[in-house]
Every structure is written in structure tokens, then in C-alpha cells.
Amino acid sequence: MQFHLFSIGCIIEISKKIYRIAVNEKPKGGKMKKNIFRFCSLVLVVFLLLFSASGCNGEKVTEKYYDDFFGSSVTAVVKGENLSAINAAWKNACEYLDKLKSKISADNAESDVSEFNRASFGDEREIDKITYDVLNKAKAAYKKTNGYFDPTVAMSSDLFGFTSRFKLDSYIPSTDYDRNQNKNGGFELPKEEYVSAFKDLANFEQVLISSHDKKFAIKKDCNPVTVEEKSYEQNIDLSGIIKGFAADGVKKIFDEQNLKSYYLSFGSSSLYLGENSQNSWNLKITDPLSKLRASLGSVKIKNRFVSTAGVYERNYTTESGVFCHHIIDPHTGRPAETDILSVTIIGGECADSDALSTSLVALGAKKAIDFAKKNNELDYIIVTGDKKVYTTLQLVLASNSTYTIVAF
């Protein structure tokens, strides 16, 4: 079976265009009717998965969906397994995902993350164990990447227009640093004083977590910053690791039901590919320079997690021609200046590779390759702007590809 990395994301984007044509909407501006869009998206995703499953030697295929987990749909496709076990696993998985959303999502005003973001310097808050576990994973990634993975870039992400409130159908400026959207759907660059001040809020070491007697807590140890006579507190955003963390948890739930032949998709960034009757999955890697998200090549894998990050998924260009993407460099408070287009990491736990893939993009090719060589328990596919693919795998380029493979 072939599985195209980012295929579901591409199908949803196509469904948006189909919907806009159907209702005679322009791509920019105007409010999209969410229920109709979700229906169009679901129909196309189901079509994709059924089409993908058509080569499975007649095995029964069951599809399960979870709508809107941190901006992405979660899909599970299970082959030739006991239906009662699948239903039991999926019920537990949905409850697990619900709990993660309720505790980690900054869009939920009552979540542990929202409570922390509203807190002042020196405040301590009790948190759920699952929040503590996610933060512990994030702390390990922060240390391993020398601070390049840092959830406290949240205010800088918001400054440049890359938090969830900018994904709404109708964006309205609501803070002193917000700018109007330009005709391309992006923004002009923020004022330098905000960039500099919000950079000072990025220090994950000043987010203190503790556990004692089965109770868990988080404390804010970062001083606020002041810009134009207004104070701003440190915030955290765990979206850079949460899909991978969730994928690890759902796999564990599936393992408890003894399910083996399946794949899990958490949108365009995190996958798990289990066993396959055809021995391996043929994972197609997206060409970051292709507007149609064509494949640049493929690699065969099974029983491994896959995480990908890139500068081409969420980005905009200012009217003055400056390209901005969602991966913030904590050391500058700006979108990372990098020669990397995308990084795919295969293996290990998905939470770890999720955080690492984002960090390696920010590092740039030379440092990312050095990191990969030192951490060779994982496999890597690093795609650069000069159309080179640095990889530790036996990647087969597409017949029409103009990329060059560089093994390391």
C-alpha cells in the first residue's frame, strides 16, 4: 500500500477550493460555512482512504475519524482486525484525545495551558498529570535541541500571526500589536520593539514543573515585558509536540487491544505506520516546492512513527516581499532564517520526533545534519532549498524529480 505524506491535508485544501467554486466564494475573505466544508472534506478523505485500501488483497478495512485535534483531523485505518477490538480501541482513543484537548488546548479557557498563560510572574497552578507528562516531554526536547524547541515562543508566534486565532474564518485585530491582513492573507512585519520584547519571554527554563505526592504543579518564573506602556506575560503553546504525544498514546491504546495492521494520521505532521500485509508501506515524501504537493520520492517503512515539519505549510509573504513562516527561532523571536524546506524524522517516539523535526528546520542544513549524525538512532529526510535531499534512508526519487539525493 502506498501512503502519501500530507495527502489528507492536500485533499482538504482541494475540498476548500471545490466548496468555494460551488458557492461562488473568493478564496480570500468571506465566511465559510463550516458544516458544508466539513462534509466536503470528509467525503474526499473517505474517498482517498477507500481508494488507498483497494490494493489490500481483499482484506476488510475499517476507517475511524476524530474531528479537529489541534487544527487537524485524526484518521485511523485498520486492516483485517476484529471489529469489537477496533471499536473498543477507538472509544478509548477518543476519550484520550478529548482529555488532551481539554488540558492542553490554549483555545479552551479552562485548560491547564490557558490557566498558566493568564497567570502572573511567580504564580503557581495545579495541573493534571497528563499536562505534566506533556511538559516533561517538551522539557526533554528543549534540552536535546539546545533550546531550539521552545513552547514559550508562543507570544512571538502570535505576533507574527501563527496562533490558532488567525485560523478563524474572519480575523479581526484584537491586540495592540495586531495588523490588518493584506490582500494575500498575510500581514506586514510587526514593530521591532514587540519582536525584541517578546523574544525575552522565550525561555522554557523559566516554566517550572513539579510533582509531589501524586500532585502536579506549574509555576511561572519569567518576568513580564512592557511595550508601549502595556505589560505582557510569558505564554506557552504545546502544539509543536502535542500531535506526536497523542500519536504515541493512541498507538499504546491500539497495542492494548492487540491491533497491529493499521496506520494513524494526525494531519500533515505526525503518522504511525504499523504492519502491512505487503511487508512495508510505500511512504511518499511531499515536494515542498510543488504547489500541488506532488511526491519527490518514496521510501518503504513499517512499524515506525513519521513526523514532518516544513516552512511551506503555514506561511505568508508581506507586501514588501518578506517571506514569513510559522517556525519561530527562539533566539531571534522571528521566523527562522533557514535553508531547509522540510524535515522528516522516522523512528523513535512520535512526541520526540515531532519536536525534533520542527527544531531541525530552524537549525538550518549544516547544523541539522550534524545533529542527525550524532543522533543516529533515528532516520532523517532533510530537503533543502537548493533541491538536495539529505537522507539516511534508501529514498527512491520520483521519475520526474529534479532533486539530488545526498546520503549521510
Report how far residue 134's alpha carbon sits from residue 367's, in angstroms, rounded to the nearest whole number.
26
Task: Find which of 47-56, 104-113, 287-296 is predicted with most confidence, using mean pLDDT.
Answer: 104-113
- pLDDT computed for residue 171 by the predictor: 84
pTM: 0.86
Whether 295 contacts 284, CB under 8 Å: yes
In terms of Cα–Cα distance, which of 70, 60, 18 is closest to 242? Answer: 70
Structural domain spans, the chain: 2-6+59-104+240-407, 112-239
Residue 132 CA, distance from chain mean position: 20
pLDDT of 150-163, one tens digit each? Answer: 999 999 999 999 99
Residue-level pLDDT at 278:
63
Residue 262: φ, ψ to 5°:
-165, 165
- How high is the pLDDT of residue 57? 56
Considering the chain, what is the average pLDDT of its residues?
87
Q: Does residue 256 contact residue 89 with C-beta atoms inside 8 Å?
A: yes
Q: For cell 505506520, what's the residue?
A: 273
What is the pLDDT, as a whole number, of residue 58? 61
How many CB atoms are closer than 10 A to CB 92?
A: 17
3-state secondary structure of 123: coil
Q: Write down the H helix ranges in 219-346.
A: 239-256
Instruction: Give 2-6+59-104+240-407's CATH code, choosing from 3.30.700.30, 3.90.170.10, 3.10.520.10, 3.20.20.140.
Output: 3.10.520.10
Confidence of residue 182 (pLDDT cuts 50, 70, 90): confident
pLDDT of amino acid 84 = 93
Per-residue pLDDT band at 397 (split at 50, 70, 90):
very high
Q: In Å, what is the CA distance from 63 to each residue of 66, 77, 104, 179?
A: 10, 5, 26, 42
Contact of 275 with 242, CB cutoff 8 Å: no
C-beta of residue 130 within 8 angstroms of C-beta of residue 238: no
CA separation for the pair 223, 226 (Å, rounded): 10
| Angstrom distance (rounded) from CA 190 to CA 332 | 14
What pLDDT sits at residue 183?
80
Query: Could you give the 3-state DSSP secondary structure of residue 63?
Result: strand
The CATH number of domain 112-239 is 1.10.3980.10: yes
- Cα 348 to the center of its chain, rounded Å: 17
Report which of residues 8 and 332 the model is more confident about. Answer: 332
Instruction: Find, among 275, 273, 293, the residue nearest to 283 by Cα.
Output: 273
